[in-house]
Amino acid sequence: MNDDLSDLYQEVILDHSKCPRNFQRLACANRVAEGKNPLCGDQVTVFLKVEDEVIRDISFQGSGCAISKASASMMTAQLKGKTRKEARAMFSAYHDLVTSGTTPTEDVGKLAAFAGVHKFPARVKCAILPWHAVMAALDDKKAPVSTE
Ligand code: ZN
């Protein structure tokens, strides 16, 4: 691996792509949304249980590249227990991070591992796809989201 690729495939990202957390269908979900990234072939379905504006539980299923899988996995770990408002703020910070590589003002925790993604424009959509799906789920949108 050269330096640039090791920026992209941080150890924590490789770990989450090989062993995704919350990778299952959530039987008690009351919000479900689907996302597709036709350019890469990533597909993700997110399952949320939202109560009193709080994400009580969250999981995902799907197939795709290492970046989309790791992003979905780490996202579910970060968003569990967050309010809808906190989830939006985190998405906005994460979006800035993967598109510009700038350190966000918001605490994004382990998501900071995705800072190298901005050097690989084709991978940005992979990294953001699961978040788009979650935002659609929080808005209760029925149509699948696409990055195109
Ligand atoms: Zn991808």
pLDDT recorded at residue 118: 94
The answer to whether residues 145 and 132 touch, using CB atoms and an 8 Å cutoff, is yes
Query: Cα(122) to centroid of ligand 1, in Å?
Result: 8
pLDDT at 2 (0 to 100):
53
Q: What is the pTM of this model?
A: 0.94
Task: From 140, 147, 123, 148, select the one nearest 46 (Cα to Cα).
Answer: 140
Spell out the domain ranges in the chain. 3-146
| Res 4: pLDDT | 77
Torsion of CA 89, 91, 49, 136, to 10 degrees: 110
Q: 51: CA distance to ligand 1 center in Å?
A: 31
State the distance from the centre of ligand 1 to the C-alpha of 84, rounded, in angstroms. 26
Whole-number Å distance, alpha carbon 112 to ligand 1 midpoint, is: 18
For the chain, how many helices (H) and strands (E)? 5, 4
Spell out the alpha helix ranges (H) of the chain. Answer: 3-8, 11-18, 66-79, 84-100, 121-138
pLDDT value at residue 3: 60
pLDDT at residue 142 in the model: 77
Is domain 3-146 in CATH 1.10.3720.10, yes or no? no
Please tell me the distance between residue 42's alpha carbon and the centre of ligand 1 in angstroms. 5
CA 54 to centroid of ligand 1, rounded, Å: 29
Mean pLDDT by 10 residues, the chain (148 residues): 77 96 97 96 98 97 97 97 96 94 83 94 96 95 84
